[in-house]
Structure 1
Amino acid sequence: MSVNMSISTDSLGALSVFIQAADARSFTVAGRQLGVSSSAVGKAIARLEERLGVRLFHRSTRAITLTPEGSLFLERCRRIFCEMEAAELELSQTRAHPSGVLRVSLPLVGMLMMPTLSAFMRAWPEIELDLDFTDRLVDVIEEGFDAVIRTGEASDSRLMTRSLGEFHYKLVGAPAYFKQYGVPRTPADLATHRCLLHRYPSTGKLEEWFVVGAEGTPIENLPRAYVSSAIEPLLNMTERGLGLACLPDFAVYDRLSEGTLVSVLDEAIQHSGTFRILWPSSRHLSPKLRVFVDFMAENLFADASS
């Protein structure tokens, strides 16, 4: 699509409205975010379509969707605003001191990242972390987060992403537990042990341990001594010698080093994951978000990998 148009302040405003509507997939939501009526958004889009000579959205009474031309135009608009934001940041970089509020959503297991998050707060005291811990699927753009940290693959094309590192799971227990119940030497031995299991609060399903037996098949139907929808109680009960738990290595590294927990069956545990940080692709990395991303990538798994 070839578009011949002069870039003016009004044009940039129309492009901004278009991007907001495309991200929100709703004129009403876009209007609420911009502080104007949905009809004002609709009229701005209509004027833009008339000027371009193409239809940008398919409209229905329930939703709006981009036309092929709209999708192509959206990518071009994103690049325009990213270049403008990058230029502004480049000019101010030499005098920029990262500061202000940084809103970040983390999964519930992210509470175990508090040592790293606390270290970040000490390193960058002028940045105020506003942390939201939840396992629900949040809408980064709609809910106004600067970034989210999640496990798994990124699937939202509106977001940029960077890997913070891979973590592995450890099957751990306290020395007092092993003294009372013995040490499992093979995966099959877990059938006689007290297993502390995690239930995903979002789905209600139990998290698998991915313990592989001698035949190369997963060990299933582990005996349940306790089930929790949060990781912290499992960690606490494991330290108290009440059972075995399969937990992320970054959550138990210090306890393994101190000897309050001991890992077993390391070769049989085939469970890992990747933490990623995601942020809106329409925004260039601000100084406060850039230092946060770099710090978490460099420090989150530093102990576990050393």
Structure 2
Amino acid sequence: MDRLDELQVFLAILDTGSMAAAAHKLRRSPSAVTRSLATLEQRVGMRLFERSTRRLSATSEGQRLATHARRLLADYDTAVCENEAAPPQGLLRVTAPMVFGRRHMTSVVTKFLMRHPDMQVDLSLSDRNVDLIDNGIDLALRIGRLENSGLVARRLGAVKRITVASPAYLQGRGTPATPEDLAGHELILGTAVRGLAEWRYRKGEREHIVRFTPRLQVNDLDGVLNVAREGFGIARVLSYQAAPDLEAARLVRLLDGYEPEPIPVHLVFPSARQMAPRVRAFVDFAVEEFAQLPLIRQAPSS
């Protein structure tokens, strides 16, 4: 951990009176704050706090360190502010969902690196929502409703959950006009995210729930799309996942009048107040780039 960062954590504990409160203030995990204090105490070779069941109190050594730490961090902030206009530089760690990342985030990252030659990006594509702080990640793109995690979010737009089938399948089996019509069709269940074998639709205030026993389950998105393209049955995916097939007329969008509410797409990061210039530069750039995607732009911005 950066040594200036250790001092920031130390002062946060001192000012709030506990490691839990410091973790909340800094938007970090309690374990990260505990490790930072332990490392600093080991570095200076003495205890900086007296522990009690209710509150931490600085030792005399801790009080002396706090005086020097505040002066040092103030001088550091002054030096950094003088360099705010400098171009962003350094390593940026980003994560995004697998398919969305391959189709869209890689392009945004490439354009960003071409604009900022002093930057490096470590892009991790994964469908797991990893903890940003514990994994040292600067920002993440997430699709879906956000949990109340304390992260800061910038909304990029939204995608929709859509129903698709190939023209050949529809020619042979007919086109469903309502969700209830799906009962007479072959439905392909994607099981990348485990759940009930049911599809939910909505029109106005009425919700339509289609429960079924699939003859085919596929745990991979490309597999679901391949089976749908080959004409086996009807699939349900996110709009950006099927966009190339819809544009090429390999698949047809069904039941669009019954689609549920759009699913929001956000960039999330640990803190806006202490955002590094490299993070701010990427966030601003990504917001502009994603606004140009039709599948993002067409969604409500609320």
Instruction: Provide closer, same or farther for how the CA distance between residues 241 and 142 of structure 1 changes in structure 2, counting only shifts above 3 A.
Output: same
1:140 aligned residue: 132
Aligned to 2:11: 15
TM-superposition CA deviations, 1:275-304 (whole Å, max 9, x none): 222211276333332233234333336222
What one-letter code is carried by the residue in structure 1 that aligns with 2:145?
A: G
Partner of residue 94, structure 1: 85
Q: Which residue of 2 aligns with 1:74?
A: none
| CA shift in 2, pair 1:238/1:44, >3 Å | farther
Distance 1:197 1:41 in 2: 59
In the other structure, the counterpart of 1:25 is: 30
- 2:47 alignment partner AA: K
Q: Which residue of 2 aligns with 1:195?
A: 187
Seen in structure 2, the aligned counterparts of structure 1 residues 196 and 142 have a Cα distance that, compared at 3 Å, is: same
Q: Cα distance 1:133–1:189, how it changes in 2: closer, same or farther (>3 A)?
A: same
Counterpart Cα distance in 2 of 1:84 and 1:191: 69
Unpaired stretches in structure 2, ≥5 consecutive residues: 61-72
| Letter of the structure 2 residue corresponding to residue 112 of structure 1 | F
What SS class does the counterpart of residue 171 from structure 1 fall into?
Answer: strand
Q: Deviations over 1:169-223 (max 9, x none)?
A: 221112122223221122222112121222354xx31475322489934232134
Deviation at residue 85 of structure 1 after TM alignment: 8.7
Contact 1:167 1:249 (8 Å CA) reproduced: yes
TM-score normalised per structure 1: 0.69
Tell me the distance in 2 between the aligned counterparts of 1:41 and 1:228. 57
The answer to whether structure 1 residue 115 and structure 2 residue 74 are counterparts is no
Aligned equivalent of 2:153, options 158, 161, 164: 161
Change (3 A) 1:135 1:100: same
Q: CA RMSD in A?
A: 4.0
Give the whole-Å Cα distance in 2 for the aligned partners of 1:221 and 1:115: 31
Single out whichever of 186-195 and 296-305 deviates more from structure 2. Answer: 296-305
Which range moves more in the overlay, 176-185 or 128-137? 128-137
* Stretch of structure 1 that moved more, 240-249 or 84-93: 84-93
Q: TM-score, normalised by structure 2?
A: 0.70
Match of 1:175?
Answer: 167
Residues 91-143 of structure 1: CA deviation (Å, up to 9, x unaligned): 333321x3433222333xx4234232232133122444323333444221111
